[in-house]
């Protein structure tokens, strides 16, 4: 198996994206991305844009995503609707990755309301 480390964040001691290739397939793991903005929706939209950039660097698109993990601070119906609206700008109703959404009390960055991780698979 071959691994590739993309966009390392040395000061934080992690890598934004790691790929693992074997048997003609490449799995892409995008670390949790947070966004800027004053609402769950705007932060989620920004996080999805960052995920798209990480996927592109690894040779993939949002269409290759098979799994999302979404962490939401102050989980409420409004927060869920906002994140769902942001997600709807990147994924069609017919092309939905498996998803886990978790309510949390806080994230590593002050003011962060949403953090999103993604896993994608492409041919190597």
What does the DSSP 8-state code read for residue 51?
H
H or E element at residue 46:
helix 40-57
Say if residues 32 and 90 touch (Cβ distance below 8 Å): no
Model pTM score:
0.94
CA distance 112 to 12: 17
H or E element at residue 81:
helix 77-88
CA distance 36 to 49: 11
- pLDDT, tens only, 114-124: 999 999 999 99
- pLDDT, tens only, 26-85: 999 999 999 999 999 999 999 999 999 999 999 999 999 999 999 999 999 999 999 999
Q: C-alpha angle 83/87/90, rounded to 5°? A: 155
């Amino acid at each position: 198996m071959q691994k590739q480390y993309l966009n390392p964040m040395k000061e934080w001691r992690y890598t934004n994206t790691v790929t693992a290739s074997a048997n003609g397939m490449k799995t892409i793991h995008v670390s949790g991305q947070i966004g800027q903005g004053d609402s769950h929706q705007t932060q989620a939209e920004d996080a999805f844009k960052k995920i798209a950039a990480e996927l592109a660097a690894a040779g993939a698109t949002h269409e290759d995503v098979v799994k999302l993990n979404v962490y939401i601070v102050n989980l409420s119906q409004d927060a869920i609707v906002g994140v769902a609206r942001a997600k709807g700008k990147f994924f069609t109703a017919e092309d939905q990755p498996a998803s886990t959404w978790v309510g949390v009390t806080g994230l590593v960055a002050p003011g962060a309301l949403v953090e999103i991780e993604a896993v994608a698979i492409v041919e190597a």
